[in-house]
Structure 1
Amino acid sequence: MAHVDALSRNPVGVVMLVAQKDLVESMQQEDDSIRATINQLNDEISKGNLKGLANDYVVESGLLFRKVNGENKVVVPRQCRWSLVQSFHDNNGHVNYIIRRTTV
């Protein structure tokens, strides 16, 4: 099962996720709109208002997430969207294709 061995020995994905989390967190803090949303959300929660922004957003581990269909989706600032997509593609390639092909 060479494909399993290769996947289990590749720590790059984990390292990239940590680096990307740090990048997104710092970019969120630099984005005026996102920073204002985080501040307003924290203010509403501290006052016990769970109906305002808390209906649509949550802050976890320093990151702002938007609630979409019961899932939390990270809010990615516009200025780093393309670099994240490009970085993920360049470093991970077409992982779904590789996994699907080796399991058939």
Structure 2
Amino acid sequence: MQIKQQSEMMVNSMIDAYAKQKPNIPAAVWQDIKKLHFNDVYLKEVKKVFQENYTEAEVKDLMATVDKYGINAYKPKPAITEKLYEVGKNFGKSVGIQIQNRLKKLGY
């Protein structure tokens, strides 16, 4: 599965969790929030981590390890895993803040 798809699934899961916590907010509001583009910054940060640690040719080789089911056999170096974890953690915090800000802006 590609990073963009994974991040979209994560965002949708977060929004669904917020929706369960706040059942008084109409479903249409949650659907509108799902249309926002949360993952642009995340994707740039992930790309930056790979660019800082791999050449363009190495990235192409890594992408070639994806099988027909979208499963990647690539196992990143521990230092890269740590950096990607931090990027993901910061992304999750950012999405939560953006959702809360959007709800406040809409009066919820």
Normalising by structure 1, we get a TM-score of 0.42
Bigger fraction of residues in strand:
1
> Which has the higher Rg, Structure 1 or Structure 2?
1
Bigger fraction of residues in helix:
2
Normalising by structure 2, we get a TM-score of 0.41
